[in-house]
Structure 1
Amino acid sequence: MTSRAPVVLGLCSGTHDSAASLIVDGRLVGLVEEERLNGEKHTRAYPEHAIDWLLDRAGLVSEDVSSVAYNFSPSLYMRGVVPSLAYLAPPSSRRRALARARSFHTVYRRASERLADLAHRFPLARVSGVAHHRAHGIYAFTASGYEDAAVLIVDSLGETVTTSIAHARLHGAGLRYRPMHQITDPASLGYAYGAVTQHLGWRRGDEEGTVMALAALGDPARFRALFARAIVLTEDGFALNPRAFPLRVISSRYSRLSQDFVRMTCPPRAPDSAVESVHADLAAALQERTEQVMVHLARRARTLTGAPLLCVGGGVAMNCVSIGRIVEQAGFDEVAVPPAPGDAGTAAGAALAHHLDTSGVLASGAARRCYLGPSFPRIRLPKHPRRGLAAHTITDPTRRLAHELAAGRIVGVFQGRLEAGPRALGNRSILASPLLPDVVKRLNSTVKFRESFRPFAPVALEDKAADYFTLDQPAPFMSIASGVTELAHRTVPAVIHANGTARIQTLTRERNPFLADVLAAFAELTGVPVLINTSLNIKGKPICGTPEMALDCLAESGLDALLLETWWVDKE
């Protein structure tokens, strides 16, 4: 068929976290991360599976796409070329200046080639790039459902920008998005956190959350003075000290930490070696400084915009402890983080921004929504879908799941539409009772196969959350670390991390009626309206986006069972 209405395809492709989104008739059809369909975590692949699903859901074909919005604007990379030559003067950066200039030109060329490739794939469409932080910001604001808010974006690098503050306000059917302040590279909080993550033996761009968890076990005092010198607060934001973080060159051949930094901390840790106290102390000091910088930036956003509400996006917004500090200390009435604050979300942001710029209308369908991917309601399974697995249909999935959880079983859940973003929010989750002895140890060692110090997040009905958690605002996307109450310490210590916080997901029946019913049924059986909710995957693999991936997860892990729509799959 041929669509006469604008059809805008938003893409993140060729860089980490490939994703696609689609706007048809002024409404967001969906947002899908390619990794959930191709099985390659943080894939850079062209998101063909995601695009195919989106077009099929809308009843369209590729020729119907009128616009393709890419999540970077290639020409903006050129702003990094000439300014890089200024670093020829200081001795600390002289050896990297020319390489830095060349690297920005190389990334400009590669991004331009991606736009040309998209123009070849969609010859009938208008193809354009959207400034990366604009894509982040418009998505973060639109997903919040707010009408007027400050927007703070903090990541590693978007063209040449690393941090931005804007004021967003709905205006009729449209949106006024007013940039207020930008911080450009080499001042990058995401770059610094990633550099230390890699030094500590984990993958930057992937396992920063592991470092955040490790920080709770360390003493920040050991390296506090070092980070105060390495990441310097300024009136307008912050700066990186090149004596600790050498001038960025966009190439993996150049180290991200100086030899002075290594000498003053510890040698690089091998990924398979033991985690020692020095590693925990280094993580703790990094995390403490990150929280201080994030609160400082949020307060700056409050001053510049005067808005009582704040939206936070970008990769650093996934640091839930920092978001918790902002909630407590930055002076906003409420803080929102979108379900996909990282680059995958900019696929939706690029589409929203392009639709706004060309039509004057802010597309609907993104506000407070996270379940934006594929569903498989009519799946059929054989009696033995995998060797050692047995499947049968059940008539009351909610009650069955609640009883199994109350009995101590750990169950994977595959229900409804796939979540967008890094957190499983009930549709592609592993659920467990927080009342089980050693449940955290069991989940880490036999189900998720990850570090023993990693915590697990709780989910609770929004109207019951205050009994267990001190956060006084909604947290629908599991984005904010909250303090806990004495009742939580007594009844559900399994969901409390070593720093005394829990990354809570607050749930309403309107957002997820199935999970809400499970929580209510579990509370009837146990007296506790809280469950452990972690993503349906094992370490190194993406959240399961297809039934086949979910069955593999059951077969390859210590999960006891899998609820796959109306199918109950057990291990024989």
Structure 2
Amino acid sequence: MAAMNRAPSVILGMCSYTHDSSAALLVDGELIGFVEEERLSQRKHTKDYPRHAVEWLLSEAGLTAADVDAVAYNFQPAHYLAESPAALRLALSPTTRDRALPRARGFAKVGLRTHRRARALGRQFPSSRVSPVLHHRAHQLTAFAASGWNESAVLIVDSLGERQTTTIARGHNALHPSVRALEAINDPASLGYVYGAVTEHLGWRRGDEEGTVMALAALGDPERFRHLFARAVRTTPTGFSVDPAYFPPRVLTSGYPRTSRRFIAETCPERHPSEPIQDVHRDLAAALQERTEQVMLHLARRARTITRSRRLCVGGGVATNCVSIGRIIEAGIFDEVFVPPAPGDAGTAIGAAIAAHTGSRSRRPVSGVARACYLGPSYQHQALDLTPWPGLQQKTLGVESAEFLADQLAHGMIVGLFQGRVEAGPRALGNRSILASPLEPGVVERLNATVKFREPFRPFAPMVLAERAAEFFTLGQEAPYMSMASGVTDEARERVPAIVHANGTSRLQTVTRSQNAFMHDVLSAFARRTGVPVLINTSLNVKGKPICGTPEMALDCLANSGLDALLLEGRWITK
């Protein structure tokens, strides 16, 4: 009887104070929800305490801050401190001597600051304990639990988590997720650091616009800088190393460049964002991307060797490099590869909460995480007042809204879609999307120039009925979260060339009825009209703004972009 009346276990997972703040809530092991703070605060990549996210989660569960038993934070402060004495070894080399003391001080400073931040989180919840979780362990649990598999290899590759940049683990037990770390690579060997450094060198924002560099790479020739990157990022039997002569060791304070004078002398001067893109920039991006793919393949093979697993989960910021993920799948190293919907730091709020739950030795299984991406707030029953947007008008659609939307798309309209719960992660997944017909002449140019306001070489990803994906794409497995680049068939090149990038791939999203019934209906209706079960799908936002998490954000996007219309919870809104 006492067990029946016990209070539920309430664990709040948190990513806060660094970038991409988010929160997740587990109650007795069940994931109540997860949302990135930027989707509610309108501040992209915000590092603020996720106030809006926490308020929504507690309200959704009918709880207050006093009900929270544990706050699981996605960093362990002490592991930063361990790097300080290690950093002093850099003084032994003339190449790195000037970085030794600043690096030691920087890691110590961040370790102490992380400790203070964890304590500050605890003060927000008077009845809770704070559980700091090793950053890569949070990534590992997020990726493995989201896969729903009972066993797999887990590869995490990012810029930095405390000291670690790359880890290989083995996950097991889908109901009580557990990961066993097998190998780790520590900073300054960091693939994410190198990619971010070159992104910044090429004039884009590090930590935000690496995807732009990946797109640019398809237009360049890697030959010019291939040997440079082979020297700068060398593979080793158990991983890779980074040559400090090209990429000086990280210092966790501003004012220390991430590329060396030698790198600049052997490539090109830093590009200002306002400067035109030249062949040298395209070639530098191409060589960087090629080396990234080679190293990721090498790490995947290492994960296969030491885990003997036939499946692979990939997480961390570098897991958003969809071309690399596609290369791993094409290589046939594993039977299946999985990337969670939120592979970056925001998603670690889920993994941190799972770590705290399993660490409490609760017998309750973890639920609501496997293959779930629609985890944020919904506004289905909210009244809509268009007064702040005097140029907009609305009409309510009936039950045939999927047919209506498909018809508008087939006639060339570009439409924003806002329905159901906010998705997790950076890709458009069909609840906060901009949709367009891939058959419309000039649609990519129009989307980039007048809707998204971004570079003209940026490609747009296709969504396709999962049951017909093989007609157009060669990936050979489902890709539910738009995180994998696939080769295309002759049918795709002939019928929907708008979704084929210059490198002959498409960042694919497959849609099943169980995953998103409405989008499955829209794709089916579009196929009946056009013979093609493929739509262009990109996130509901413009460049520099977060994906629209609220109706107000979506209406602003419609009013201030080249969108033709917005379908918002069954209401058709036009200008």
Scaled by the length of structure 1, the TM-score of the pair is 0.98
Match of 1:370 in 2: 373
Match of 2:490 in 1: 486
Give the C-alpha shift of residue 398 in structure 1: 0.9
1:501-530 Cα distance to aligned partner (Å, 9 max, x none): 000100110010000000011111111100
Identity %: 62
**Which residues of 2 match residues 112-261 of structure 1 at below 5 A?**
112-170=115-173, 173-261=175-263
Counterparts in 2 of 1:394 and 1:44: CA distance versus 1, 3 Å:
same
Contact 2:91 2:100 in 1 (8 A): yes
1:282-323 Cα distance to aligned partner (Å, 9 max, x none): 000000000000000000000000000000000000000000
**Which residues of 2 match residues 378-389 of structure 1 at below 5 A?**
378-382=381-385, 386-389=389-392
Give the C-alpha shift of residue 381 in structure 1: 2.2
Give the partner amino acid of 1:557: S
Match of 2:303 in 1: 301
Match of 1:49 in 2: 52
Contact 1:197 1:211 in 2 (8 A): yes
Query: Does structure 1 residue 111 correspond to structure 2 residue 114?
Result: yes
Give the partner amino acid of 2:355: A
Give the C-alpha shift of residue 13 in structure 1: 0.3
1:38-72 Cα distance to aligned partner (Å, 9 max, x none): 00100001001000111111111111111100000
**Which residues of 2 match residues 274-285 of structure 1 at below 5 A?**
274-285=276-287
Contact 1:383 1:392 in 2 (8 A): no
Count of aligned positions: 569
Give the partner amino acid of 1:187: A
Contact 1:150 1:165 in 2 (8 A): yes
Give the C-alpha shift of residue 79 in structure 1: 1.3
Match of 1:508 in 2: 512
**Which residues of 2 match residues 495-534 of structure 1 at below 5 A?**
495-534=499-538
Contact 2:140 2:351 in 1 (8 A): yes
Counterparts in 2 of 1:385 and 1:510: CA distance versus 1, 3 Å:
farther
Give the partner amino acid of 2:367: S
Equivalent of 1:69 in 67, 72, 76: 72
- Paired residue secondary structure (2:481): coil
Give the C-alpha shift of residue 353 in structure 1: 1.0
Query: Does structure 1 residue 27 correspond to structure 2 residue 26?
Result: no
Counterparts in 2 of 1:526 and 1:3: CA distance versus 1, 3 Å:
farther
Match of 1:334 in 2: 336
1:432-466 Cα distance to aligned partner (Å, 9 max, x none): 00000010000000000000000000001110100
Contact 2:145 2:177 in 1 (8 A): no
Contact 1:536 1:544 in 2 (8 A): yes
**5+ long unaligned stretches in structure 2:** none
Match of 1:316 in 2: 318
Match of 2:437 in 1: 433
Give the C-alpha shift of residue 330 in structure 1: 5.2
Scaled by the length of structure 2, the TM-score of the pair is 0.98
Give the C-alpha shift of residue 145 in structure 1: 1.1
CA distance in 2 between counterparts of 1:330 and 1:489 reads 24
Query: Does structure 1 residue 397 correspond to structure 2 residue 401?
Result: yes
- Paired residue secondary structure (1:335): strand
Give the partner amino acid of 1:163: T
Give the partner amino acid of 1:243: A
Give the partner amino acid of 1:31: F
- Paired residue secondary structure (2:525): helix
CA distance in 2 between counterparts of 1:120 and 1:57 reads 22
Match of 1:81 in 2: 84
Give the C-alpha shift of residue 383 in structure 1: 5.9
1:89-127 Cα distance to aligned partner (Å, 9 max, x none): 100111110000000001101101111101111121011
1:469-509 Cα distance to aligned partner (Å, 9 max, x none): 00101100011000000000011000000000000100110
- Paired residue secondary structure (1:344): helix
Give the C-alpha shift of residue 251 in structure 1: 1.8
CA distance in 1 between counterparts of 2:332 and 2:284 reads 25
Contact 1:3 1:60 in 2 (8 A): no
**Which residues of 2 match residues 518-557 of structure 1 at below 5 A?**
518-557=522-561
Equivalent of 1:560 in 556, 564, 574: 564
Give the C-alpha shift of residue 393 in structure 1: 1.0
Give the C-alpha shift of residue 176 in structure 1: 3.4
- Paired residue secondary structure (1:464): helix
Give the C-alpha shift of residue 385 in structure 1: 5.4
Give the C-alpha shift of residue 384 in structure 1: 5.3
CA distance in 2 between counterparts of 1:76 and 1:384 reads 52
1:134-184 Cα distance to aligned partner (Å, 9 max, x none): 00001100001111100000000000000000011117x423311110000
Contact 1:414 1:427 in 2 (8 A): yes
- Paired residue secondary structure (1:409): coil
Give the C-alpha shift of residue 382 in structure 1: 3.7
Give the C-alpha shift of residue 360 in structure 1: 4.5
CA distance in 1 between counterparts of 2:257 and 2:386 reads 53
Give the partner amino acid of 1:305: T
Equivalent of 1:265 in 258, 264, 267: 267
Query: Does structure 1 residue 449 correspond to structure 2 residue 450?
Result: no
CA distance in 2 between counterparts of 1:407 and 1:228 reads 49
CA distance in 2 between counterparts of 1:553 and 1:31 reads 23
CA distance in 2 between counterparts of 1:241 and 1:428 reads 42
Aligned-residue CA RMSD (Å): 1.1
- Paired residue secondary structure (1:297): helix
CA distance in 2 between counterparts of 1:455 and 1:3 reads 53
Counterparts in 2 of 1:383 and 1:254: CA distance versus 1, 3 Å:
closer
Counterparts in 2 of 1:92 and 1:549: CA distance versus 1, 3 Å:
same
Give the partner amino acid of 2:289: Q
Give the partner amino acid of 1:323: I
1:256-288 Cα distance to aligned partner (Å, 9 max, x none): 000000011010000111111100000000000
**5+ long unaligned stretches in structure 1:** none
CA distance in 1 between counterparts of 2:423 and 2:456 reads 26
CA distance in 1 between counterparts of 2:397 and 2:330 reads 45
1:357-377 Cα distance to aligned partner (Å, 9 max, x none): 112555111100100000001
